[in-house]
Chains A and B, each alone.
Chain A
């Protein structure tokens, strides 16, 4: 069973997207802040990480940077899932090593699910 780490401080999104991914047969691990997210990324070794950017404790950009700098976690694909849609933020996330950047307001739940499946099917 593939594991997905969902780093998102909004409980409502953890619940909706988490439930759908769980239904699809993925093992869900959730973190409600950046610090917990970083710790779980190392200990649980997920197959993909869904990362919000505006997070308590450690900002999403810092989480992304540290994930990509760490030998243990740098190969894990990261899907940024946020409501920030400035070109500057998008470019920064891609430069830091994000695989995909999704603006929450522009995607339906099913579309996000498709993106996650697509990233998981990419060769490592």
Chain B
């Protein structure tokens, strides 16, 4: 196996490509090169040292040259990290600016559609109503995407506001199920809730946790084919309340499972069954749950369905 083959085995090639850096600017690769040089220098110094015991100048020269090479490589690594950090900062800034700039025209469109649909400007013909609905729904989709992008940019900049207080996870879940009822009905999905009696309140940011429940429920419904069932369970486990949602959907293929909480990641079979989606919902859910002091996880089997769960600390 050559060096390239070995590197791709270690995923270094893929990581360098993902960062859009050439091999000689890629920190991961340069660390490997540094490691090889250090080992090489140590071994050769030992052998040369045993051969030229009487001339320590040679050994000093070897150490000097190799140190110089290592310093040069280290400075390239530092530069590369700076470039990556700068690219990341610019990307977050770009998302934030674009999202903010998109919000105003989206609000303008929304209000113009509201006005047209209200009938204030004259009666609407029945044949026009469906088209107004299309405009409104698509405007909503764009608005939701922009909102998700804004949340992501706040998560990346570590400025997502979390205002914690005591609240009932059961109430939020019930409200969300109610809100999703038309979508679930249209998708032939039955949503059931099993909540433990006397479930204690949890401590977290209710408006952000609503976003988590919304994302998990939306995914569960969206990835059920033809018809199916969703079971949500709420139970107290030690000092936490656990939200648990099981669906009979398409499931997540094993190789994709480790990427499922990554930003913009969409599993191959998610794309196959459902073209809509930004790949941000689970990334946002994970960030919110962890920032609220909870944990999130899942188990999934392709073709059989998935179980997603998260926990939140019980209010003190």
Interface residues of A (CB under 8 A from B): 10, 12-13, 16-17, 19-20, 23, 83, 86-87, 104-105, 108-110
Contact = CB atoms under 8 A, between A and B. Distances in A.
B107 A104 contact: yes
Interface of B: 100, 103-108, 110-112, 114-115, 118, 120, 143, 147, 161, 163
26 contacts: A12-B105, A16-B108, A16-B112, A16-B114, A16-B115, A17-B111, A19-B120, A20-B115, A20-B118, A20-B120, A23-B120, A83-B100, A83-B104, A83-B107, A86-B161, A87-B161, A87-B163, A104-B103, A104-B104, A104-B111, A105-B107, A105-B147, A108-B110, A109-B115, A109-B118, A110-B118
Given A16-B112, A19-B120, 11 more contacts: A12-B112, A13-B108, A13-B111, A16-B114, A83-B107, A87-B163, A104-B104, A104-B107, A105-B106, A105-B143, A110-B118
Majority secondary structure, A binding face:
helix
Majority secondary structure, B binding face:
helix
Given A16-B111, A108-B110, A10 B104 contact: yes
Contacts of B110: 105, 108
Nearest to A12: B108
Nearest to B120: A23
Contact of A19 (B104, B105, B115, B143): B115
A23 B121 CA distance: 10
A72 B107 CA distance: 33
A105 to B, nearest CB: 5
Contact of A109 (B100, B111, B163): B111
B114 A108 contact: yes
Minimum-distance CB pairs A-B, first 9: A109-B114, A12-B108, A104-B107, A83-B103, A16-B111, A109-B111, A16-B115, A108-B114, A16-B112
